[in-house]
Amino acid sequence: MSEMRYIPNKMKGKTPYDPISGSYSIRLDANESPYPIPAELLDRFCEALKEESLNRYPDPTCASVRNAFSSYYRVDPANVVVGNGSDELINLILNCFFDKGDKVGIATPEFSMYRFYAELAEDAVVFTEKDSTFSLDRFSAFAKENGCRAVIFSNPCNPTGAGFDKEEVLRFIRQTSCLCIIDEAYMDFWDQSILTLAPEFENVIVLRTLSKAFGAAGARIGFAVANPLLIRNLNVARSPYNVNSLSQRLATLLLENGDLCNHGKELGQRAKELQSRLTELFPDARVFPTCANFVFMETPNASELFRYLADCGIAVRLFGNSHLRICAGTEKEMDRLYETLTRFGTEDPS
Ligand code: PMP
């Protein structure tokens, strides 16, 4: 099987996404919610499934999900597209809004899938670094100097947890001619969303997801909110039945009961506590301030800490050899994490 001629250049060197494997009693590696869907809603979901005609295709417009999203987040359902996770929408946008070679600006570190999908779409990705002088004003100047047609960034940022406040984001949007793809996957943990304003701009797409604060990562539901022209083109590009009927049912139910299901406030607060505890426990590390449900830290012994935690049954995410990202779990999980971290370097976990 050495017929590389069937593999295009843009695929060469790419590897399948490789999440952490193995079984861990505590999962703090994927920025998910630690909370299951409330039992009462799960019962209602199971009941609703009996009504579902699985011999039929799902609603291609996801009308009930869009309506529930719109009531919860106060946007017009006509300005919303639902995706099979926001991942699907990122892929779609980076494909359908650019011609081959169009430049897309990314400031690193950033969510790795932006680069992956942009390269697959044969966009020309140009990078700048989020160093200590980085700001959205700087990013805007960078995009202009480099002739970018678009920029994409997460706010709050995965992996650093840093957030740009609403005014800074709006100033950026107004001063750039780029299409601004603003990924608010973690905005339920913070309060600086520009979601409701997105349709007022000709150059903005805001992304959201039910995978984080709503605890529905397994259902794969994401959203794009933008003006009608951008939304129309996303609808042209997406596959007609991109969201299955089971996920549509569940997403509608979760959004209709948003106050019960959205754990953003509580988990955002817990991540702030995690930030303080890590700062106390590791005075030599650089612990990044967070606006999300996780904390990013730079420490020379990141690899040892990662292995130690894994040996103790706690999964976190390692970046290179020097950075760790740890996500907020339940109160009990955090107690165990802190107790385990306190013992780091003092004993053999086995
Ligand atoms: N955007 C960001 C910034 C993320 O961190 C993630 C998931 N890790 C996604 C999008 C994808 O989320 P979804 O589950 O909605 O595809």
pLDDT category of residue 16 using cuts at 50, 70 and 90: confident
Whole-number average pLDDT of the chain = 96
Kindly give the number of the ligand 1 atom that is closest to the alpha carbon of 154: 3
Q: At what angle do helices 63-73 and 245-256 cross, to 10 degrees?
A: 20
User: Could you tell me what percent of the chain has a pLDDT over 90?
Assistant: 91
- pLDDT of 347 reads 61
Contact in structure between 61 and 240 (CB atoms under 8 Å):
no
pLDDT attached to residue 234: 97
CATH of 2-30+263-343, one of 1.10.3290.10, 3.90.1150.10, 3.40.50.150, 3.40.50.620: 3.90.1150.10
Q: Edge-to-edge strand order for the sheet containing 323-327?
A: 286-287, 294-298, 323-327, 317-319
Best-predicted range by mean pLDDT (1-5, 62-66, 131-135): 62-66
Return the CATH architecture of domain 51-260. Answer: 3-Layer(aba) Sandwich (3.40)
Q: What gap in Å lies between CA 168 and CA 207, rounded to an integer?
A: 18
Contact 328, 201 (CB under 8 A): no
Q: What is the distance in A from the centroid of ligand 1 to the CA of 185?
A: 6
Using the mean position of ligand 1's atoms as its centre, give its distance from the Cα of residue 229 in Å.
24
Residue 87 Cα: closest atom of ligand 1: 16
Confidence of residue 296 (pLDDT cuts 50, 70, 90): very high
Residue 184: count of CB within 10 angstroms of its CB: 24
pLDDT digits (tens, 9 = 90+) for 53-100: 999 999 999 999 999 999 999 999 999 999 999 999 999 999 999 999
* CB of residue 217 inside a 6 A radius of ligand 1: yes
Q: Is 209 near ligand 1, meaning CB less than 6 Å away?
A: yes
Mean pLDDT of 316-338: 97
Residue with tokens 């952490």: 20
Chain segment 177-196, per-residue pLDDT in tens: 999 999 999 999 999 999 99
Ligand 1 pocket check for 86: Cβ under 6 Å: yes
State residue 261's pLDDT score: 97
Q: Is the pLDDT assigned to residue 148 strictly greater than 80?
A: yes
Amino acid, single-letter form, for residue 276: S
Cis amide bond preceding 159, omega within 30: yes
**Residues found in the chain:** 350
Residue extents of the structural domains in the chain: 2-30+263-343, 51-260
Answer whether residue 209 shows pLDDT above 70: yes
Strands 204-209 and 179-183, sheet pairing: parallel
The count of C-alpha atoms lying within 13 angstroms of the C-alpha of 268, restricted to the half-sphere facing its C-beta, is 18
Q: Decide if pLDDT at 1 tops 80.
A: no
pLDDT value, residue 4: 78
What is the pLDDT at residue 2?
Answer: 63
Confidence of residue 349 (pLDDT cuts 50, 70, 90): low
The residue to mutate among 106, 183, 184, having the most atoms of ligand 1 within 8 angstroms of its beta carbon, is 183
Q: 31 pLDDT band (50/70/90 cuts)?
A: very high
Task: Dump the DSSP string for 202-270.
Answer: TTEEEEEESSSTT--GGG-EEEEEE-HHHHHHHHHHS-TT-S-HHHHHHHHHHHHTHHHH--HHHHHHH
Partners of 297 in the β-ladder: 287, 324
pLDDT of the residue at 20: 80
Q: How confident is the model at residue 348 (pLDDT cuts 50, 70, 90)?
A: low
* DSSP code, position 13: T
Mutate to test the pocket of ligand 1, among 111, 152, 220, 250 (most ligand atoms within 8 A of CB): 111
Give the distance (Å) from ligand 1 centre to CA of residue 88. Answer: 10
Residue scoring higher pLDDT (65 or 17) = 65
